[in-house]
Structure 1
Amino acid sequence: MQKQAASGMGKEAGIRKQNAASQHFRLSQGHCRQRTRSGASPRTRILAGRTAPSAQVWASAGQSGSGVGPVSFLLEGAMRALFSFVCVQPTLESTNATWTQGSNGSEPCPRDARSTHLVLPALYTGVFLAGALLNLLALWVFLHVPSSSTFIVYLKNTLVANLIMTLTLPFKILSDARLAPWQLQAFVCRVSSVVFYEAMYVGITLLGLIAFDRFLKIVRPFGKSFVKKPAFAKTVSVSIWLLFFFISLPNMILNDKEATPVSVKKCASLKSPLGLRWHRLVNYVCQAIFWTVFVMMLLFYVVIAKKVYDSYKKVRSRDGRHKQRPGGKVFVVLAVFFLCFAPFHFIRVPYTHSQTGSKMACALESHLFIAKEATLFLAATNICMTPLIYIFLCKRFTERLPCPWGRRAPASNQEQQSSQTDHMTLG
């Protein structure tokens, strides 16, 4: 009787321990779910919701068995380990990733936070400081240069576009680096990024007009035409600004969904259905503008290259010197255009489709986002590269520079002859 009583008391003690372990797990799980509701990753929510049935099965199985002392000990250890996996591991993984809703609105997609929140903001800061210095210097110079030619008019409008792009970069830097409230990200999505793209495509179109202006100077150096008058260049420049303003304005107006700390992580989440369709249409229009300008520039520079090379051969045959090189400064426009803008336009169409289209694989969407951000950084470096055009192609600009670069010694007769290929295309 005493042995049976002891055995019964042992079983009751084991059951109490097991019930306590089950209660401990339920409390731990509740704590875990509370953490997920307060900001843990979506994966934590999924895992926390899946673990409760298994714990209940283990607890009921332990209550019906014998030898409950070791079983309850093992069960409690398993519960603690499971709790650690559910609540701790996803938290550690989320330190290097941000989570956004997938393109289908249900699948959570991780994005590498190290590149978008650390590396790119640091690079953008360097571009902003260099671009601000160079463009403010260029602004000071162009204030002292009269708009007496179409070339100068196009360069001044390009400078204005670069200054606007430069002014939008601090908002992107603070937003991407998470150094400002989430409301700033909403401002970036609705205003500053739209202004950035507007200024960028104005600059792209103006670079095409600069190439066209150099082309006319080669083909008809002494010809008179209305397209060579400054009034024509001013009219075209104003028309370009108005065109891109009216194209971009709906992208601001149709960003009318309520902004939340979650929705601002993906700018497309703030757009209405009409806004998404307009955004996609504008993307295709801008793609068409870029590639049209790019093809035309290639055609212009094929002719320019031939003319420059022919002039180089004439100078070399007349002087009998082989050390002279053909002038290549004029090609800086094509180089800046291709290096800064071409990579971004290879990526932009599939990326826009991932934001506004139907379901897309989470991994592919994440890769497209990283590629878009990297190529957009290259496009932003245009604000540092464009001043090279002013220096290499605009004599009036270099003459006004407040540095020794603008004060060159008189060139010898041989140097003047060897530089004739450059003078064919300099403004």
Structure 2
Amino acid sequence: MKPTYSSSGNSSNCSSGNNISQVLFPLLYTCIFFIGIIMNGLAMGVFFQISSKSNFIVFLKNTVISDILMILTFPFKILSDAKLVSWELRGFVCKVTQVVFYFTMYISIIFLGLITIDRYMKTARPFKSSSINNVLAAKILSIFIWIFMFSLSLPNMILTDNKPTRENVKKCADLKSDFGLVWHEIVNYVCQFIFWVNFVIIIICYTLITKELYKSYKRTRCMGKANKKTVNIKVFIIIGVFFVCFVPFHFARIPYTLSQTRDAFECSTQKTLFYIKESTLWLTSLNACLDPFIYFALCKSFRKSLLKTLHKCAIQTRGDQSTETTDDEETPM
């Protein structure tokens, strides 16, 4: 039976607005916006001081750019969901910032997969350094990923072309043309494919990494250097972030998308899927706050540069305070 696509009907009359969506989620996004902008702004500043001398650093730099772009979409979502501004902003959120949010999410997922492959290669062959050709290939691959994801996402902006009204902006699907709904569902399946490919890559790589670390642990234990294990174990932060942030959402996204693009779901089911989707979507947003821990734990150059920067700031702050104290003491009564 041919599926029925609709931008009206049942779905238009089923609203999910209440205190949870208007108060709780905006507060949660506000928290991660301020934390994320500070952490990623600092990470970006540190990465500007580090040369792209390895594939790993190239992939990390792309990840922090993706995270900053994602974070910049949060204020629009916060204001729109909390209904603190006019309904016209909701149309902009549906057409632009929501698309950018998903665009950056899948770029982050792809780069987490590439970082995992790089960490496996580093674990399996710890003394092999990246050549200039490998770094150049990593840069070209990164550019291709951005172009591919942008090409996939741009039609979602263009095809969200129904005129916004106070009623149809309540659901972004109602702003899409008929082909826009079809394209939205196609993109959803492509993104699901991207996720599951990277999911398999991460599972396989971490299975192999675990085997390598176990072999290393057995060797170092025999040599009386068992503390080596606690250093290498930090590599598992990547799979931890991936499972916390991205896995729950991808179990919820397909049924939610179907509920948005087809008139086959009851209103109560649509609302339930909406809350599940919003809760797991917030977890994906949390990735922007957790990625800096990956940089600090696994990138020695980043860690050294960050600590050096913080040390300079601490010295400068103490110097300013000392100057102020001296000035106070020399001020005549």
TM-score between the two structures when normalised by the length of structure 2: 0.87
2:310 to 371, 395, 403: 403
- Structure 1 residues 395-425: Cα deviation after superposition (integer angstroms, max 9, x where no partner): 00010112369x9xxxxxxxxxxxxxxxxxx
Instruction: Please say if residues 258 and 270 of structure 1, whose CA atoms lie closer than 8 Å, have aligned partners that are also in contact.
Output: yes
Aligned to 2:16, the other structure's residue is in SS state strand
Match in the other structure for 1:6: none
**Residues 369 and 228 of structure 1: CA distance in aligned 2, closer, same or farther (over 3 Å):** farther
1:360 to 265, 281, 287: 265
Instruction: Please say if residues 312 and 325 of structure 1, whose CA atoms lie closer than 8 Å, have aligned partners that are also in contact.
Output: no
Instruction: Please say if residues 226 and 232 of structure 1, whose CA atoms lie closer than 8 Å, have aligned partners that are also in contact.
Output: no
Instruction: Please say if residues 149 and 228 of structure 1, whose CA atoms lie closer than 8 Å, have aligned partners that are also in contact.
Output: no
Match in the other structure for 1:183: 88
**Residues 221 and 227 of structure 1: CA distance in aligned 2, closer, same or farther (over 3 Å):** farther
Higher relative contact order (CA 8 A, sep 6+): 2
Match in the other structure for 1:267: 172
Letter in structure 2 aligned against 1:174: L
Match in the other structure for 2:144: 239
Instruction: Please say if residues 161 and 199 of structure 1, whose CA atoms lie closer than 8 Å, have aligned partners that are also in contact.
Output: yes
Cα distance in 1 for partners of 2:286, 2:204 equals 25
Match in the other structure for 1:413: none
Cα distance in 2 for partners of 1:119, 1:383 equals 19
Letter in structure 1 aligned against 2:144: S
1:371-410 equivalent positions in 2, closer than 5 A? 371-401=276-306, 402-403=309-310
Match in the other structure for 1:114: 19
Highest Rg: 1 or 2?
1
Instruction: Please say if residues 102 and 109 of structure 1, whose CA atoms lie closer than 8 Å, have aligned partners that are also in contact.
Output: no
2:153 paired with 1:248: yes
1:160 to 42, 65, 70: 65
**Residues 116 and 207 of structure 1: CA distance in aligned 2, closer, same or farther (over 3 Å):** same
Cα distance in 2 for partners of 1:312, 1:149 equals 26
Match in the other structure for 1:230: 135
Cα distance in 1 for partners of 2:269, 2:287 equals 28
**Residues 144 and 224 of structure 1: CA distance in aligned 2, closer, same or farther (over 3 Å):** closer
Cα distance in 1 for partners of 2:302, 2:92 equals 36
Give the Å deviation of 1:109.
Answer: 2.5
Instruction: Please say if residues 103 and 355 of structure 1, whose CA atoms lie closer than 8 Å, have aligned partners that are also in contact.
Output: no
1:146 to 36, 44, 51: 51
2:39 paired with 1:134: yes
Match in the other structure for 1:206: 111
Alignment gaps of 5+ in structure 1: 1-100, 408-427
Letter in structure 2 aligned against 1:184: L
Cα distance in 2 for partners of 1:323, 1:143 equals 31
**Residues 255 and 289 of structure 1: CA distance in aligned 2, closer, same or farther (over 3 Å):** same
Cα distance in 2 for partners of 1:371, 1:252 equals 25
Instruction: Please say if residues 150 and 233 of structure 1, whose CA atoms lie closer than 8 Å, have aligned partners that are also in contact.
Output: yes
**Residues 267 and 107 of structure 1: CA distance in aligned 2, closer, same or farther (over 3 Å):** closer
Give the Å deviation of 1:359.
Answer: 2.3
Match in the other structure for 1:258: 163
Instruction: Please say if residues 204 and 290 of structure 1, whose CA atoms lie closer than 8 Å, have aligned partners that are also in contact.
Output: yes
Alignment gaps of 5+ in structure 2: 1-5, 315-333
Cα distance in 2 for partners of 1:147, 1:324 equals 28
**Identity over aligned pairs, percent:** 47
**Residues 357 and 403 of structure 1: CA distance in aligned 2, closer, same or farther (over 3 Å):** same
2:206 paired with 1:298: no
Match in the other structure for 2:317: none
Q: Give the length in aligned residue pairs.
A: 307
Give the Å deviation of 1:315.
Answer: 1.3
Give the Å deviation of 1:316.
Answer: 1.5
- Structure 1 residues 80-114: Cα deviation after superposition (integer angstroms, max 9, x where no partner): xxxxxxxxxxxxxxxxxxxxx99743783242511
Letter in structure 1 aligned against 2:221: R
Aligned to 2:232, the other structure's residue is in SS state coil
